[in-house]
Amino acid sequence: MFVREKTIRGYSYLYLVESVREGGRSKQRIIKNLGRKESVQANGDLERLLASIERFSERSLVLSQLESGEMAGLSCRRIGPPLLFGRLWEESGCQAVLAALAGQRKFEFSLERAVFTAVLHRIMVSGSDRACETWMADYDIPGAQGLSLHHFYRAMAWLGEELPADRQAQATPFAPRTVKDEVEEALFERRRDLFTDLSVVFLDTTSLAFHGAGGETLGARGHSKDHRPDLNQMIVGAVIDSEGRPVCSEMWPGNTADVTVLLPIVDRLRQRFSIGRVCVVADRGMISAATIAGLEERGLEYVLGVRERSERLVREAVLEDSAPFTPLLIERATGETQLFVKEVLADGRRYIVVRNEAETRKDRADRAAILEALERQLKKGDKALVGNSAYRRYLRKAGEPAGTPGAAFEIDAGKLAEEARYDGIFVLRTNARISPLQAVLRYRDLLQVEELFRNAKALMRTRPIYHSSDAPIRGHVFCSFLALVLRKELQARCAAAGLKPEWGEVLRDLDRLQDIEFAKDGKTMGVRTPATGVAGSLFKAVGVALPPNLRDVA
């Protein structure tokens, strides 16, 4: 049914018309002649008719209220992130595990909801628990109504709470066992099956600086990866399996050296998750002679990065070995990688030398750019060059022995030749009974999960932290680890669906999905904005059904 305008003898008339079907043909039948157009518009008959129809049309009720500017009782909240990550929170087991552990204690609020809200805050914007309390007002998080700041503080303290003395058997020398350890173990146990494999693990660390003391034991001065040696810090580690799934997190005082943590972590992993054979894959920053000896004493396999420049045996024997390289072509999703590999035995140790052709060309180009800039600077004067580490490595005193006062600088051809030896080269040391190809692939897995480590570091560098004791600090950082778990779950669902969305697009498009509620004439209506960008594909990949566009609110 609709209104039709018809011109007769120069005058326009309005008719209320309906479409009917007669004899297999569609035709229009006039229900009522509304009159001449100018008369109908002048006396307001059409507006009164529309207003009476509007009472029975929910969609027009919404449009008329928005158009008239009557916003009484209107509320708008974002629903995309709680819907999507709420499903992942449930299916990953986080909801059930936290609810079960928290159920052993009688809290007067939903501790599981407080932790989920804090985790969702880490995913979307990160920040302090104070910011989380105000942030959540813009989101429709089921069960989070009534949560306040002291609830978040209590939840963080519970997650980082030390376990009783009879449950400290798997503690490291650097940190006690806490509630968050039991959460990690329960999550791992939920997804353990015949195919669950922890035979290969990757470990990386970062530092988290405080603007205060940093608790009773966590805050300490040490090597700062944040370039803030003036602040107390803590060390945060993440263990990831061969599929890139986060397994557990570790937190230590800020003066804990990376080379001291690998063996305690491996011992703890074997106890906590009941695993036997382990191949540890780690980069050169965590390796020392004592670490390697400890791994061998435990009968563990390893594939370790080696310091090519600083280790004398590698520099003088391994890299000088005259055996030919074997070409190796590795196919990846992003394309093919050309490698040249050879195995070298030196002093009873097994090394794998790898040359990456693409990295070789890049190293040469980078060095050529530095030298070009260095030559320009030398023409202007050489006093400022010594403070630039990129320049200093290629310089020597001109025409005089190094260290002679007053001598000018020049480019050292010998240093250039020495640097060229390492173009595109990386060296591995392993005791694993695997082929050179397998060793390279496992180490490349470490390089590939570095992207996940970067995500972990971004999420786990949660600032600012206003907590002043160890337990809530641990809980605060652990929420960032749970955020990493959900992010990995989403990435796995996207990969299965053939999606490769940018993380910034994911957050932006989810935030655009909103629910608007308003009341009129004693009736409350809800309107959902459309899913734009990648949001629709994400909900489909995760298996979440969106609420209807228009609905009655009970």
Angle, CA of 459, 303 and 346, to the nearest 5°: 145
In a domain, 544, yes or no: no
Q: How does strand 514-520 pair with strand 523-528?
A: antiparallel
In a domain, 460, yes or no: yes
In a domain, 458, yes or no: yes
**Which pLDDT tens digit goes with each residue over 62-87?**
555 556 655 556 778 899 999 999 99
pLDDT of residue 315: 81
Q: Cis before residue 464, ω within 30 degrees of 0?
A: yes
pLDDT of residue 210: 83
β-strand partners of 241: 201
Q: Is the pLDDT of residue 44 over 70?
A: yes
Q: Quick one: which of 247, 162, 232 has its CA closest to 200?
A: 247
In a domain, 139, yes or no: no
Looking at the structure of the chain, the number of domains it has is 2
Q: Is the pLDDT of residue 460 over 60?
A: no
In a domain, 399, yes or no: no
pLDDT of residue 389: 61
412, 439, 468 - which closes a domain: 468
pLDDT of residue 151: 93
Pairwise pLDDT comparison (249 vs 441), residue with the higher score: 249
In a domain, 332, yes or no: yes
Angle, CA of 363, 365 and 367, to the nearest 5°: 70
Sign of CA dihedral 166, 171, 176, 181: negative
Q: Is the pLDDT of residue 403 over 50?
A: no
pTM metric for this prediction: 0.74
Residue with tokens 């204690």: 105
Chain centroid to Cα 514, Å, comes to: 23
Pull the structure tokens for residue 281.
């894959």
pLDDT of residue 194: 47
| 138-140-144-148 Cα dihedral, nearest 10 degrees | 10
Q: Quick one: which of 176, 189, 177 has its CA closest to 100?
A: 189
Euclidean distance between CA atoms 54 and 60, whole angstroms: 6
Euclidean distance between CA atoms 329 and 339, whole angstroms: 6
pLDDT of residue 307: 77
Q: In the predicted model, what is the mean pLDDT of residues 478-504?
A: 91
CATH of the domain at 273: 3.90.350.10
- In the three-class reduction of DSSP (H, G, I as helix; E, B as strand; rest coil), residue 410 is classed as strand
Euclidean distance between CA atoms 394 and 446, whole angstroms: 31
The range of the structural domain enclosing residue 30 comes to 2-51
In a domain, 122, yes or no: no
What H or E segment, with its residue span, contains residue 542? helix 535-542
In the chain, % of residues over pLDDT 90: 22
